[in-house]
Amino acid sequence: MPGSSFSVSSAALLDAEEGIEVVGEAADGLRGVELVRTEVPDIALIDVQMPVMTGIEATRRIAADPALAAVRVVILTNYGLDQYVFDALRAGAGGFLLKDTEPADLLQAIEVVARGEALLSPSVTRTLIGEFVSRPPDRTGAPGLEHLTRREREVTALAARGLSNEEIAAHMVISPLTAKTHISRAMTKLGARDRAQLVVFAYETGLVSARTTG
């Protein structure tokens, strides 16, 4: 896997893996953001609960910095998909992992995020859907939604159900490359940092109804 990785934990494991370089560690969120700005890594593993600055605020600052647009943030948490993680996804995180994730799963997750994909499995997406069931869609906060083509709306809706590019392609009878292109264009039009934010956007705006997804 090309590139480097910044980590607030699991440094020894990652540094021992061929193709991964740990370029820094930090004991608190503020220092973590400073390191990310200095090193501009491919991936930042951020603990959701850190001293000085929370992982959510650190994620928000990284996502808001144009110079760090290529940095993918993965949140580490003890609690699964709780409100902290939900807020982190909205702040710009590309996904999340439990701290007790097996080493092999951690490495695979890093590869997934490095490819620009969201670390959101179908089971995680279903939990996200459950979070939205009790929330009315915020259609007033949907800049760009009207600019999506029919195809782009369709691929966004399928992504929100947890389908991969290959699964979207099979569903729509198009090539995986075409599916990826539609996803990329939808993200650009909606100002979504990555696929995770695209999923959140789909439910928050009512493009996909949590009550009818199943």
Q: What pLDDT was estimated at residue 111?
A: 77
User: What are the pLDDT digits (tens) for 180-212?
Assistant: 899 989 988 887 777 777 877 777 777 766 544
Q: Rounded to an integer, what is the distance from CA 155 to the centroid of its chain? A: 17
E strands present in the chain? 5-7, 43-47, 72-77, 95-98
User: Using CB atoms within 10 A of its CB, is residue 137 exposed (0-12), middle (13-18) or buried (19+)?
Assistant: middle
Residue range 6-55, pLDDT digits in tens: 444 466 667 666 777 788 888 898 999 999 999 999 888 888 888 899 88
